Amino acid sequence: MTGRAEQAHRTAARLGALLADAAVGAIGAADGLAAGLYLRSGTTPGLLRLAVLAGLPAPLFRPWWRMDVDRGFPVADAYRLGRRVVLPNAAEAMRRYPQFAAGLPFPFGSLYVPVTGGAATFGVLAVLRRSVPEAETAEAAELLSCRDRVTRAAERLGAELARWEHGGGPAVVWDGEPLSVRPPAARAVESRVGRFVWDPVSDTVSADERFHVLLGRPAADFAGTGRALAETVAAGEGHQVLAALRETAAGRPPALPLPVRTAAGALRLMELWAPQAGRAPGPCRVSGTLRDPGPGPLGDAAADLLPDGVLCADRLGTVVYANPRAAQLLGRPRRALVGRPLWDSAPCLSHPACEDHLRAALLSPGPVHFHVSRPPADDRAAAADRHDGALLALSVHAGPDLLTCVVRPAEQPVLPVDAAALPAAPAQPAEGPGGTHGPAPGSPVSGSGAAAHLYRPIVLAIALTEAVTARQVSAVVMRELLPAFGGNRLAIYLLQDRHLYLAWETGFPDGFLAPFEGVGLDAHVPGVETLTTGHPLFFDSMDQMAATYPGLALDADVGSRAFLPLIASGRLVGSCILGFDRPRGFSGEERTVLTALAGLIAHAMEKAQRYDTEAALARGLQQALLPRRLSVHPEVETAGRYLPGTQGMEIGGDWYDVVAAGDGLALVIGDVQGHGVQAAATMGQLRSAVRAFALGDRPPDEVLSGTNHLLTDLDPGQFASCCYVRLDPVTGVARVARAGHPLPVLRHPDGRTEVCDVPGGVVLGVEPGARYPVTELRLAPGAILALYTDGLVERPGIDIDDGVGALCVALARVGASAARPGGRPLTSVADRLTATARHSADRPDDITLLLTMRRPAPPARAGASRLRRASS
């Protein structure tokens, strides 16, 4: 390894040690079960990766190693919005984050705190803890205290990471697999833990007395070198110890404890860790522990006699004890069980459905019971054991430091058999390029079905309920579905006039999709045939596809493809193409799951098409109702801006208007509750009513009272807020009435900006006899009055008062360019106040702004006025 690569590994090790300490500390701060740290990806923008997982086995939680910052998950919200997320129990998690709760449907609570330092947000610190019932006020108070302690821990970590970057260190990012960290034991086990330190420069090992006791060799017989340490373990395992020592000295410690055996055959678990941050470059001293994982000789002897099988595993899933009956029932020798991860220790436990039960055992307060198919017994045990039946009943009990699994034969299961009828599947594949799960590049893959079991269709279903456009549906499929099956390419075609047209595409090479665009239902192409026959088409390689459709241009393409029909309740919607950049097989289980998921996508796309029709109508209606031009006055300048929301229907009921009222101007802004055609129609009725009252120059309170009566009589099932200002351009007197609308903001000519104290009445359409008081303001020449809707100042996780304060600061700064004589037009101020929102793809609500300014007197005119006052 080159010096540069060695230095990079040592740096990563120091960063990992820093993060591991923070995660373990967060568990103690929150009295938690486990903690995880997500960091920004250095290769994929908008992606968070799990860097450290303390207290839980990382392989069991592989689906949560990656987190898109735009997903509806608490980790993503904490990072994107920069705020803490507290979920005291599963009910609150389901209410606020249904996708997250569906993926981990267990009774636990959780905390999520952004890790920030200076202006940078590095990631999120997440802690899982016991559930807090809503009625338990004492428990709720304790949860808030935990939240504050975790927040302080995140702040300390953020400050350290900021110093790391500012001190010349590399960017704090993470793109590897997460580190599995063992939290401190709940009970003292000092008598069964030995410690040692190896110096790679001098090749010397110093150890305490317990270390030698656990090795079963007197200290006087120990040569004190790394090779001597390796020679004290069982034959055939010494090279593993030497390799682990050297890798750790180079900054690459093993992720899990290393199981070794003494010369007498006793199991020991060896843990090594990398040097802490700040150590000098070069090979570093390695610290380690040697642990006796079992309950001791007396406990071993007692458990060995039990009629049921018993396995014990630590909180990271490593089996530390198995009695003879467990080995017999699981069809494996004890030596093959102990020292291995629980889910890998026997074929019947490696099925993804069993992994789900193990996750439940780790996160739930009570025991978890399930059944599995009994593995075939070997010849020696077959004759004596066939009467025990074909199923095994497992009960997993979680303690603070150990999982205890009881195994019994079960001929008549009393609980649903999740995995009994399913063949055991291999463990999940490693994470492939780009973060998707799959095999190494270039290797053919046989469909194991593991991904199909791992993926929860309910997660996709919940995500699709929140998508309303074809683009949003496609983005959900790309984000939620493809990674679970190792795909990275997607194309969705929709049927229009009996032809297929591309609605979304990402990842496919140039030219591959050209033969499918605009083809009719009589074309001989897979995208059409999968739709017309209703049967999916799977091609393990492009050679297979070329042989089936020789007329398609596929020369430069590689990989495999799946063509899925999009059919909703018998109606043809379109077709979906999933792409994989290397050959792979599709198991029968994967084909079944993907076909079923295609039905969900079809229903979502059909809903999206209806939405597009309604949205087009609403957009046309709203554009017709918004003013094409504003009434003008020589003494007053106005500017209005409207930005539709980007979530949901995207069309709301915001409006603004400037109307000539007698010898003055009426300034109006309003916001109808809701979105869609109904909101736009109600907005049109209110705008017409307010405009009619304004043209008659009615007082502001009468305008709002009359409009309120109208909306109450119409009873559209909606209400609206409104602010009405009658301005005298000559004197600058503004009479204001407000119906549940945000307070106006006034910028004075000297730059002072204030939120106007304008008492108001209830929103329109709620109380027929509501009254609306009138407040008088005065606008000096050069003053700017800002009327706005809450979409401009309100954001998730940010108090609306803070948003109004930010508007005041921005108006004070940018308003100077228009307030001085001969300055920039007011439209430029409106553009600058809405610039951030205009360029944002995430606008939860409509944004409307109306600015009004009394024109400042030109310098010449001001001089003439002074001369007239002098002569008089």
pLDDT value of position 191: 47
CA angle (55, 60, 66) in 5-degree steps: 95
pLDDT along the chain (872 residues), means of 10: 60 79 89 92 90 89 87 90 89 80 83 91 93 67 84 92 82 88 60 80 86 80 85 74 83 72 77 60 78 58 72 84 87 82 76 79 84 65 50 84 84 43 33 34 36 57 75 82 81 90 84 83 90 91 88 73 88 90 83 83 84 69 67 87 67 83 93 75 85 91 93 82 94 95 94 93 89 94 93 75 89 83 84 80 77 78 41 38
- CA dist 267 to 257, 315, 322, Å? 12, 18, 11
Look at the block and give the residue holding tokens 């689906």.
63
Distance separating alpha carbons of residues 745 and 763, to the nearest angstrom:
19
User: Would you state the structure tokens that stand for residue 58, as one six-digit string?
Assistant: 């990382």
Distance separating alpha carbons of residues 710 and 363, to the nearest angstrom:
56
Distance separating alpha carbons of residues 705 and 739, to the nearest angstrom:
9
Tally of residues, the chain? 872
Is the pTM here over 0.95, yes or no? no
Distance separating alpha carbons of residues 805 and 802, to the nearest angstrom:
5
* DSSP per residue, 757-812: ----BPPBTT-TT----EEEEE--TT-EEEEE-GGGT-BTTB-HHHHHHHHHHHHH
DSSP code, position 63:
G
DSSP code, position 723:
E
pLDDT value of position 133: 75
The residue type of 180 is S
pLDDT value of position 2: 53
pLDDT value of position 299: 47
Rounded to the nearest 10 degrees, how much is the dihedral formed by the CA atoms of 446, 355, 256, 195?
-160
pLDDT value of position 647: 59
Closest by CA position to 612, among listed 808, 785, 467, 793: 467
Q: How far is CA 36 from the centre of its chain?
A: 14
User: Would you state the structure tokens that stand for residue 757, as one six-digit string?
Assistant: 């104290």
User: Would you state the structure tokens that stand for residue 344, as one six-digit string?
Assistant: 């890998």
pLDDT value of position 767: 87
Helices (H) and strands (E) in the chain, counts: 27, 32
Radius of gyration of the chain (CA): 34
* DSSP per residue, 636-691: EEEEEEEE--SSTTS-EEEEEEEEEETTEEEEEEEEEEEESHHHHHHHHHHHHHHH
* DSSP per residue, 32-56: -SEEEEEEE-SSSTTEEEEEEEESS
Q: Which residues lie closer than 8 Å to 499 by C-beta, 6 or more apart?
A: 518, 519, 520, 521
Please measure the distance between the N-terminal and C-terminal CA atoms of the chain and give it in whole angstroms: 93
Can you tell me whether residue 625 is helix, strand or coil?
Answer: helix
- Helix (H) or strand (E) holding 163, with range, is helix 137-166
- CA dist 401 to 53, 303, 782, 784, Å? 16, 18, 70, 65
Distance separating alpha carbons of residues 758 and 743, to the nearest angstrom:
7
| Strand order, beta sheet including 652-661 | 652-661, 664-675, 720-727, 733-739, 774-778
| Strand pairing category for 784-788 and 847-854 | antiparallel
